[in-house]
Amino acid sequence: MPQSALMPPSKWYSHLVLREKVSIDDYTPYGTRAIFRCRVELDFEGFGRDASHIANANKYMKLPKTGLWQARLEYPKLPGIAAKQAHRDQTQVIATSKSLHTLQMHWGVPFYLFLSLYGSLVLGQNEEFHEELTLRPLRDGRLASRFSFTTLLQGATPRDPETLSMEDDAQHYTLFPLALGQILREYAVTEMHLTLNAGRWSYDRWGYPDEHGVGTGAELWAWMGDNNITSHNIDQRWKGLRNALAGLFCASLGSLDDQRTTSPELTFSPEGSLPRWRSSHQLRHGTLPSENVCTENLTPFLKLLPCKSLSGIAGLLNPHRLFDADWHGLGVHVRYLHRKGVEVRLSFQAVTDPVRYSLTGKRDWSLRSVFDRTIDRTCPVARSSEIRVAVPGEDSITITPDPSSLSPDYATYRVSETTKPLDISMQWAEEAKFEYPHDITPSPLTHISVQRTLKGSSQSQGRLSVVIRNHLPITIQTSYLESMPWLLQFYLHSLKIYCDGASRDDLISIISYIPPVPHSRPTLLQALLTLPPRSTLHLTMDVIKPFLRYTEHPPDAQRGWELPPAVFIPIIPGDKPLTHDKNTSLPASRLDLLQLPPRKIYSPTLLVDLATPDFSMPYNVIIMSCTLIALIFGSVFNLLTRKFLLVRVNQDKVAPQPSS
């Protein structure tokens, strides 16, 4: 290639390397000299969203007395980076004195050291990856499957927001998703849960889900440390987190703005532990029920997995089958576990209908029939890789192949031990055709069941009605959360409770209520309900539907607005409490709430029909008023400018002729 065709190096430099970071990991002093272990992290463009390269470097060096330390690192061939980057075999990196704060005691001692580098990838010694698939036949013939991919970064702690103004530690991950890790560090997020679901989870037919976040649409909640720095305050970071996740997961979470953000701390208590920092933690929660979930959300999800969808259990995640499911949802859960580290759990949950796929109407299923794929390879970096199949007790069921271990409830397959390709199948041998259960109200699978409806046909007011049934023979309590955009405003004084027909206003205690501010803030209503044994509670409340500004309507305004689900947490006495770590910074008054089992029940979403204007009205008004103005102006102008004169007409000529 002629020399003139070459791109100038500076262009390449800016084109390809998005970010580079050098950090000093540690150093070994030898008298007055030292060997430093540096890490160089480069992000390259053109290798997907999370392409990065981490190189280890040993550097023998001297330190000048100034605050800025500068050194040159030489890259031999970077493994994994193709020839495109071959030009970048030499580069210059600058580390400021901030990353050298541990070395200050050696300042002034001259080191004259020698440079040696190797471009080997950092091998994770303290990261664990576990994958699990749970398959559960449901009593209506469907199959619930739950994928769970857990990555634990041992020894890691979330970033304290007080340190946001300082330079962050370098991030070197092997299995932990870097793209997500960068977001968590950038916005100092301690705990985060994002779920993107499509469809309505039917608690009555399917029971409690394995992953509790099953609200329709997108839901994001995060616990973040508060701080007083205005440029990094919690609302700024919450906004940044929303936007970053929207970009990462191709979702429209950017529209989860302040009009949908609340802090319902009773219902969404942290699932992990919160580190004890100088400032307290705060919750931010938002839902977007109209969000779609499709292949574009699954693609970045799979990219966060160490084996992508190439091998292991994740190979079963076939978008064409998953998005054909009766219910599907994906979730990203990040939490901090004290003394263990930061855990990222990626989950995918689907309810598929084998009867629909079957030609003979049987509910037999296999991995091939449900996902159209089998497991051909194990994911080599997975510490454990298990498939658990729930065995319903009542029928004669055959499961092939033989499981690695069998308990009364579950057949467990360890993917690394089984023969490949692995295609688990379950057959109901005696069943010629699946009979849907005739019992309209079968025995309940959950403690309570919830119905929520919006009544009234008017576009200005209506009535919210919630029906809660207690299926247990004991009195239980349940928390009740309404986090409602200002599109629906409650008349709290009209709240009435009827228990089996009798008015019982003593059964509710309102814990907190934040009224809405039109065009800016949502309502937050948290209450505690007491449910007498085997009773049905009717809760009604009048609501008004406000007028929206002309520009606030969505493009399909006549469709109506989706409202977020209400969330209930039944508190069952004697139920196994949630394990609670003492090393949290939660106030003591909230500790008892942590004992709640995190079994959330999401009600279905509502669709509210708000008054919509005639969108062609402005044009009609313009046309109408222009016509009127033209008419009025024309006549007035005429009257004012036209001169009215008496015209003398020649009498002789015009005089009527005498009739003959």
Partner 1 sequence: MLADDAACNSRNKFPGCVYPNAGRGIDLYGDNIEVDYRGYEVTVENFIRVLTGRMEPSVPRSKRLLTDDRSNIFVYMTGHGGNEFLKFQDNEEISAFDIADAFEQMWQKKRYNEIFFMIDTCQANTMYSKFYSPNILATGSSRIHENSYSYENDNDIGVAVIDSYTHHVLQFMEGINKTSQASMQELFDTYDFDKIHSHPGVRSDLFGRDLKQALITDFFGGVSRAEVTPPLFHVESPQSPPQFDDPHQEVPAEPVHPPDQTTPELLTPYELFVSQKQLSDRDARRSLRAWLAIGILVGLVGFVGSKRTR
Using CB under 8 A, which residues numbered 88 to 127 contact partner 1? 89-92, 110, 112-115
- Member of 30, 107, 513, 633 binding partner 1 (CB under 8 A): 30
Kindly identify the residues of this chain, within the stretch 518-557, that bind partner 1 according to CB under 8 A. Answer: 554-556
CA distance linking residue 160 with residue 471, whole number of Å = 44
Least distance (Å) between residue 141 CB and partner 1: 20
Nearer to partner 1, 138 or 248 (CB): 248
Length of the chain in terms of residues written: 660
In Å, what is the CA distance from 434 to each residue of 424, 445, 611, 617, 651?
20, 21, 47, 56, 109
Determine the interface stretch with partner 1 among 83-91, 355-363, 453-461, 505-513 (rule: CB under 8 A).
83-91
Nearer to partner 1, 1 or 588 (CB): 1
Least distance (Å) between residue 431 CB and partner 1: 28
- For residue 434, how many other CB atoms are within 10 A of its CB? 17
State in Å, rounded, how far the first CA of the chain is from the last one.
114
Least distance (Å) between residue 188 CB and partner 1: 14
Q: Which of 369, 356, 291, 358 is nearest to 329 (CA)?
A: 291
509 binds partner 1 (CB under 8 A): no
CA distance linking residue 424 with residue 637, whole number of Å = 89
Q: Give, as one character, the DSSP assignment of residue 577.
A: P
613 binds partner 1 (CB under 8 A): no
Least distance (Å) between residue 378 CB and partner 1: 21
323 binds partner 1 (CB under 8 A): yes
Nearer to partner 1, 196 or 601 (CB): 196
Amino acid letter, residue 137: P
Phi, psi angle pair for 308, to nearest 5°? 45, -140
Q: Which of 300, 281, 218, 207 is nearest to 252 (CA)?
A: 218
Collapse the DSSP code of 99 into the 3-class scheme (helix H, G, I; strand E, B; otherwise coil) and give the result: helix
Determine the interface stretch with partner 1 among 320-328, 440-448, 471-479, 625-633 (rule: CB under 8 A).
320-328
Least distance (Å) between residue 61 CB and partner 1: 10
How buried is 223 (Cβ within 10 angstroms: 0-12 exposed, 13-18 middle, 19+ buried)? buried
Mask: binding to partner 1, 273-302, rule CB under 8 A, as x and -?
A: -----------------xxxxxxx--xx-x
In Å, what is the CA distance from 553 to each residue of 37, 246, 275, 343, 484?
57, 22, 42, 40, 17
Determine the interface stretch with partner 1 among 61-69, 352-360, 383-391, 628-636 (rule: CB under 8 A).
61-69
Nearer to partner 1, 266 or 367 (CB): 367
Nearer to partner 1, 252 or 509 (CB): 252
477 binds partner 1 (CB under 8 A): no
630 binds partner 1 (CB under 8 A): no
235 binds partner 1 (CB under 8 A): no
611 binds partner 1 (CB under 8 A): no
- Cα Rg, the chain, nearest whole Å: 33
Nearer to partner 1, 240 or 532 (CB): 240
Least distance (Å) between residue 96 CB and partner 1: 13
Kindly identify the residues of this chain, within the stretch 246-265, that bind partner 1 according to CB under 8 A. Answer: 246-248, 250, 252, 254-255
Least distance (Å) between residue 87 CB and partner 1: 4
Kindly identify the residues of this chain, within the stretch 437-476, that bind partner 1 according to CB under 8 A. Answer: none
CA distance linking residue 513 with residue 524, whole number of Å = 6
Nearer to partner 1, 86 or 624 (CB): 86
Nearer to partner 1, 437 or 618 (CB): 618
What is the widest separation between alpha-carbon atoms in the chain? 145
- Member of 37, 39, 239, 368 binding partner 1 (CB under 8 A): 239
- Member of 82, 229, 611, 622 binding partner 1 (CB under 8 A): 82
CA distance linking residue 304 with residue 150, whole number of Å = 11
Q: What is the 3-state secondary structure (H, E, C) of 61-86?
A: CCCCCCCCEEEEEECCCCCCCCHHHH
Nearer to partner 1, 158 or 315 (CB): 315
How, if at all, do strands 606-608 and 561-563 pair? antiparallel
64 binds partner 1 (CB under 8 A): yes
Mention every residue, 6+ apart, whose C-beta is less than 8 A from residue 126.
153, 154, 155, 341
Kindly identify the residues of this chain, within the stretch 162-221, that bind partner 1 according to CB under 8 A. Answer: 198
CA distance linking residue 480 with residue 448, whole number of Å = 12
Least distance (Å) between residue 49 CB and partner 1: 7
620 binds partner 1 (CB under 8 A): no
Determine the interface stretch with partner 1 among 66-74, 118-126, 331-339, 585-593 (rule: CB under 8 A).
66-74
In Å, what is the CA distance from 148 to each residue of 299, 335, 340?
16, 15, 19
Q: Is 272:158 a contact under the CB 8 Å cutoff?
A: no
Mask: binding to partner 1, 572-591, rule CB under 8 A, as x and -?
A: --------------------
Helix, strand, coil abundance in the chain, percent, nearest 5: 20, 35, 45
- Member of 17, 20, 25, 33 binding partner 1 (CB under 8 A): 33
- Member of 26, 67, 70, 625 binding partner 1 (CB under 8 A): 70
- Member of 47, 162, 170, 319 binding partner 1 (CB under 8 A): 319
In Å, what is the CA distance from 199 to each residue of 216, 247, 329, 598?
6, 23, 8, 21
Q: Give, as one character, the DSSP assignment of residue 576.
A: P
Nearer to partner 1, 3 or 396 (CB): 3
Least distance (Å) between residue 216 CB and partner 1: 13
Least distance (Å) between residue 273 CB and partner 1: 28
Phi, psi angle pair for 4, to nearest 5°? -70, -20
Least distance (Å) between residue 280 CB and partner 1: 24
10 binds partner 1 (CB under 8 A): yes
- Member of 106, 130, 139, 240 binding partner 1 (CB under 8 A): 240
Q: How many residues bind partner 1 (CB under 8 A)?
A: 71
CA distance linking residue 549 with residue 429, whole number of Å = 62
CA distance linking residue 188 with residue 165, whole number of Å = 11
Nearer to partner 1, 544 or 611 (CB): 611
Least distance (Å) between residue 116 CB and partner 1: 11
Nearer to partner 1, 352 or 483 (CB): 352
Least distance (Å) between residue 112 CB and partner 1: 4
CA distance linking residue 7 with residue 529, whole number of Å = 70
- Member of 26, 80, 86, 635 binding partner 1 (CB under 8 A): 86
Q: Is 557:518 a contact under the CB 8 Å cutoff?
A: no
357 binds partner 1 (CB under 8 A): no
Q: In what order do the strands lie in the sheet with 523-531?
A: 508-514, 523-531, 476-484, 567-571, 601-602
